[in-house]
Each structure stands twice: as C-alpha cells, then as structure tokens.
C-alpha cells in the first residue's frame, strides 16, 4: 500500500509572508500604463500621423502600373498601312531570384539565351548588375517568342507586354514615316511630327506587390488607356515605291552619292511621293548611318541651276519686260560682267525668249534679268517660298538661302537668273512649280490627305503661267535639253539643271548635281515631279540625261495609277543626240 505524502504549503516561508499592497498596485499601474502607451502609439500611427505610414507602406508594396496605349497607325491616301503597332514581349528579371548556379536553372538559361540570340555570358552578366531587384533582359521581342521563354519556367524571369512598330513599306517610305524609339516615342519623320496624336494617353492601375515583385491584388480604380488616333497621309504607297525603285536604280547605275524624288499633286499640293536614296529599313536600324538617315529632299539645300530659269522668265513676262517672241542676242556664247565671264555650252546666236528656255541659255537668262530690278526678282522668289522654311508638317525641313535684294550686285543678279547665288531644297523647287500648274497660283503643300484643293496665292497671271508651260514643253521636246524626260502617251514639260557643287568658297571640279523638274500633262497638269541626283560619276552628269529618264518613268507610272487618260498619241519623242545644257 502506497504511502501518500502531503505538502503543507502554508508552512512555506515564501507563501506564508504577506505581499505588500503597493507592489500589487505598481504592477497594475504598469500594465495600465503599457496599454495607454500602446493606445497612444496606435492613435499616433492610425490618426495623427497616418499619412506618413501609409506612404511608407505604399513605397514598399503599392505600385502604379502604366497601361500602355496602342499607338495610332500611319496610313497612305488609300488606307494602306505605312506604320502600325503589334504586341511585343519585353523580358525583365529580379537578379537575386535567378539561381544560375543550379544545373537545371543553368540549362534553362542557356535555352533562353539561344532563343533571344544572346551569348550566355552576356545574359549572366545582367544578373550580376548592382541592382538586384530589376534588370531589363531584352525588349520588344516577338510575342510568341516571349511566350516560349516564359514556358521555360525560370524563377525570377518575367514578361511585360509592350508594343512594337512595324513598317510594311520598308526602305521605300522610310524618310516619310520615320521611326519610334524603344519607348514608342517618335524620333523621325511623321512619327515625330504627329507623335502626340499617334501616342494617345496611357492608362494606370494601382496594385499591391509582394516582396518578389508579383502582383497580389489591385487597389483603386483602373484608368483605361486612350489609344492614339490614326493619321492618313497624302502619300500613295504605290507611287512612293515606284519612285524609290527608279531613283535607287539610277543612283547605282550612275555611281552617284545619292538622290531624291518629289511627286506633288498639282491640283491639291498633296505630296504623293518623297523618296531618297540611300535609305534604311525603319524596322531594323542596327547598322543605320547618317547618310541613310538624311532626308535629302527636305534637309539638303543646293544651288538649283537652270531649273530657276523659268521663274526668271516668268517674272519678266509678268512685268511686261519681254514677250515669248522677244529676241535676245546670245552671241558669241560668252558674256563678260564685272570681271567674270559667263558662258553657254554653244553659241546659240539670236534666240527668242522661248528659245532661251528651250536651249537653256545662261546669257539669254541674264540679259532678261537685266531688264528687271533686284527687288522685282526677289519679290517673286520670296512669294514662291524661297528663303523660307516650307509650311509643311515635317521636322527638319530647310529654309534655304535667298539674300536680301538690297545687297545684290550686278553679277549676283545675273547669276541668280540661272540658279546660282541662292540655295533651295528639292522640295522647295517642286513646290514653286505649282505656280505654273495652277494658272499662276502657288498652292500650299501638305503631307496629309485633304478633301478640297486649298486656296493659292496669285503670283503670276494665268496667261503668264500658260506661256511658261509652253516653254517647258519646248525644253522637254525636240531641240530642248530635256528630251529624255518625254513620256509615252502624255505630254510633259520641264526644265533640267546641272549645278556645280560648291566646296568652301569655290566650285569643285567635276562634281555636279543633276536636276529635272517638270509637270504633266502639260495643258492641264495633274502632277509635278522633281528629281535630283548628287554627283553622278559614270560618264554623264547633265540633268536632262541623268534625272530626265527618272522623271519620265515616274510621270508615266503615276498618271496611270491616277487613271489620267493619255493626252497624246503613243509615240516617244526622244532623239538620239540630246543637246547638253550649259553649266558654269
């Protein structure tokens, strides 16, 4: 039988002693003060200074995600796409979460590097970056490729949906559409000119993220993005492609440095084509050079040479100083003025004013200019847009140079008569010829498709414009300097120009720019085409023989695409031995 032991707790000295009352009160007071301190702290945190702690919490866990807007499209005049946005995958990583030392992860990273065409060493170097919480791996990959990479299931690798621009017309329309950067902001061309309209407005969504950057839940109201609006250009993509193709072939065949073509609708001033060579692919700019990027038709200015003679003659006709049948003696083919000798390529003898344009006589043009004052010539040049930045929605358009008339010396007025002493872009030259195509009115040029023809500014009378058009027709016909500009089925008129290139303060030997500017059909012009080839070096360098054929083919193709009926029998008027035009 077990023996039960009992403990007399009351016999313990510790328990038997009486606890002082102050000690109990102290403990109760301490507990109460603790609760009061906690309550005060809670009030401070949640009421008095709550905004600070809320902000600190948001800094650590709340993020505002930008919801990208879909950039608007660039369309040609017929609704064909010149630039559009497609979904793209941009890969990013949290480096501290990517365990590249594990063999299985390393193998997946190797597959990923192969898919994005990046050396594995370079990929691993990204994870060694100082920022351990975020690093871009590759942006704007094909969406399907991004999905393949995410299917690998690599911890720490994430995908963000963005948009990438695509340019279906490639090189042919590059200098018109331009391009955007990786952030989808316009950098060149119409992408830059209408960036605000195309970009739209991004939306936003506030979310809570965990420590690994993953979205846990959304907070607040989602602000949806507003997509950019489409912009319809005046350009005809078919005309643009054909013009670019013919220009490219001509530049290569003539071993030239480059060239440009501008095609305008003579009735509306709409730009149907604006091509340059060399060009580039706006969707692949990895090897882009400055030569390729230059929009020569708008940014490069040159002395236009003989293409200015119709403007000189038109001014004199308008002022009544000459008539088309006024006789001008150009003998003996040389003219001395202020210590300079001005020459024609031949001694043309006695010419009518019509003949001055047909034969492209420098001496004839300067003798007509001498019947006018510098102010009278300057006023017409300025009215046609020379020396002024073109009023066109396009970045980088050059203004050229037209010196104040008060500073003109007699020799300068004489050289101005045949296109030296001023500078202009090919676009300005094409635009100025609208005055001859519209009964003496120069009309605004535009890169956007418009409904109604704009009101022009009357510079010449309709009679003067018709007289100059007849002279341009003669210049492009038998006996003229632009016979290779003739087009099967359509009457054409135009003026060639061969300007020596200026290097420093003097003219370079053997370096020329070949121009041809004209219109068709000649009695009721529908288009104006201007062509420039820079430094042709394969033998011929005259505007009529180098640029004239480009003009011919572009005119014929464009008028057919516009459904303009032929106005003459299908019989080419090209002769075997064209007359060469004069140069300085």
The DSSP-derived string for 470-529 is HHHHHHTSTTSS-GGG-BTTB--EEEEEEEEEEETTEEEEEEEEEEEEEEESSSS--EEE
C-alpha 239/C-alpha 558 separation (Å) is 6
- How is residue 18 written in tokens? 């009486």
Report helix, strand or coil for 235.
Answer: coil
Q: Which stretches of 353-409 are DSSP H helices?
A: 353-359, 362-369, 374-383
Catalytic hit among 90, 172, 234, 306: 306
At how many degrees (to 10) do helices 103-115 and 120-127 cross?
120
How many C-beta neighbours within 10 Å does residue 76 have? 23
C-alpha 433/C-alpha 460 separation (Å) is 12
Q: Which residues pair with 164 in a beta bridge?
A: 86
Whether residue 278 is preceded by a cis peptide bond, meaning omega within 30 degrees of 0, is: yes
Q: What are the distances in angstroms from CA 329 to CA 211, 343, 546?
A: 91, 13, 29
Q: Are 69 and 227 in contact (CB under 8 A)?
A: yes
C-alpha 544/C-alpha 542 separation (Å) is 5
- How is residue 186 written in tokens? 């316009």
* Plot region of 570 (φ>0 → left; ψ -120 to 50 → alpha; else → beta): beta
Q: Which stretches of 178-285 are DSSP H helices?
A: 189-193, 195-199, 237-253
C-alpha 273/C-alpha 445 separation (Å) is 12
496 is an active site residue: no
Which residue shows structure tokens 């871009």? 136
Active site residues: 306
């Amino acid at each position: 039988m077990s023996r039960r032991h009992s403990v007399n707790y009351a016999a313990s000295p510790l328990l038997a002693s009486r606890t002082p009352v102050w000690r109990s009160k102290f403990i109760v007071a301490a507990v109460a003060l603790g609760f009061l301190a906690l309550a005060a702290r809670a009030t401070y945190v949640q009421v008095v200074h709550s905004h600070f702690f809320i902000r600190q919490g948001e800094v650590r866990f709340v993020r505002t995600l930008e919801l990208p807007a879909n950039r608007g499209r660039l369309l040609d005049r017929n609704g064909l796409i010149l630039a559009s946005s497609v979904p793209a995958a941009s890969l990013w990583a949290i480096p501290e979460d990517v365990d590249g030392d594990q063999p299985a992860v390393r193998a997946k990273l190797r597959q990923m590097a192969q898919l994005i065409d990046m050396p594995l060493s370079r990929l691993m170097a990204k994870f060694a970056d100082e920022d351990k919480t975020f690093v871009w791996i590759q942006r704007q990959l094909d969406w399907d490729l991004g999905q393949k990479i995410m299917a690998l299931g690599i911890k720490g690798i994430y995908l963000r949906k963005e948009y990438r621009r695509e340019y279906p017309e490639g090189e042919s329309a590059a200098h018109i559409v331009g391009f955007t950067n990786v952030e989808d902001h316009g950098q060149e061309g119409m992408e830059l000119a209408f960036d605000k309209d195309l970009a739209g407005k991004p939306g936003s969504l506030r979310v809570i993220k965990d420590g690994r950057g993953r979205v846990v839940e959304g907070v607040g109201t989602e602000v949806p993005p507003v997509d950019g609006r489409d912009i319809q250009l005046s350009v005809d993509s078919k005309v643009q492609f054909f013009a670019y193709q013919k220009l490219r072939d001509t530049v290569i065949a003539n071993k030239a440095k480059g060239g440009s073509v501008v095609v305008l609708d003579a009735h509306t001033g709409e730009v149907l084509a604006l091509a340059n060579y060399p060009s580039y692919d706006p969707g692949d700019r990895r090897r882009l050079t400055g030569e390729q990027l230059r929009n020569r038709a708008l940014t490069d200015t040159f002395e236009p040479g003989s293409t200015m003679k119709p403007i000189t003659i038109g001014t004199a006709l308008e002022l009544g100083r000459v008539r088309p049948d006024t006789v001008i003696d150009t003998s003996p083919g040389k003219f001395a003025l202020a210590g300079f000798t001005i020459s024609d390529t031949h001694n043309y003898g006695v010419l009518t004013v019509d003949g001055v344009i047909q034969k492209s006589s420098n001496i004839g043009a300067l003798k007509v200019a001498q019947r006018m004052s510098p102010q009278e010539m300057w006023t017409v040049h300025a009215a046609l847009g020379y020396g002024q930045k073109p009023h066109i929605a396009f970045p980088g358009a050059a203004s050229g140079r037209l010196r104040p008339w008060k500073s003109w010396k007699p020799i300068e007025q004489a050289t101005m008569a045949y296109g030296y002493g001023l500078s202009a872009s090919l676009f300005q030259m094409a635009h100025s010829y609208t005055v001859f195509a519209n009964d003496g009115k120069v009309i605004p040029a535009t890169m956007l498709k418009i409904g109604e023809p704009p009101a022009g500014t009357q510079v010449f009378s309709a009679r003067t414009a018709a007289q100059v058009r007849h002279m341009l027709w003669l210049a492009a016909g038998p006996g003229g300097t632009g016979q290779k500009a003739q087009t099967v089925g359509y009457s054409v008129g135009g003026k060639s120009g061969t300007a020596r290139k200026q290097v420093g303060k003097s003219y370079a030997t053997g370096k020329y720019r070949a121009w041809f500017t004209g219109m068709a059909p000649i009695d009721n012009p529908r288009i104006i085409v201007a062509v420039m080839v820079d430094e042709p070096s394969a033998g011929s360098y005259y505007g009529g023989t180098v640029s004239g054929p480009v003009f011919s083919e572009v005119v014929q193709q464009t008028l057919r695409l516009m459904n303009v009926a032929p106005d003459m029998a299908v019989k080419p008027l090209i002769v075997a031995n064209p007359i060469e035009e004069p140069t300085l």
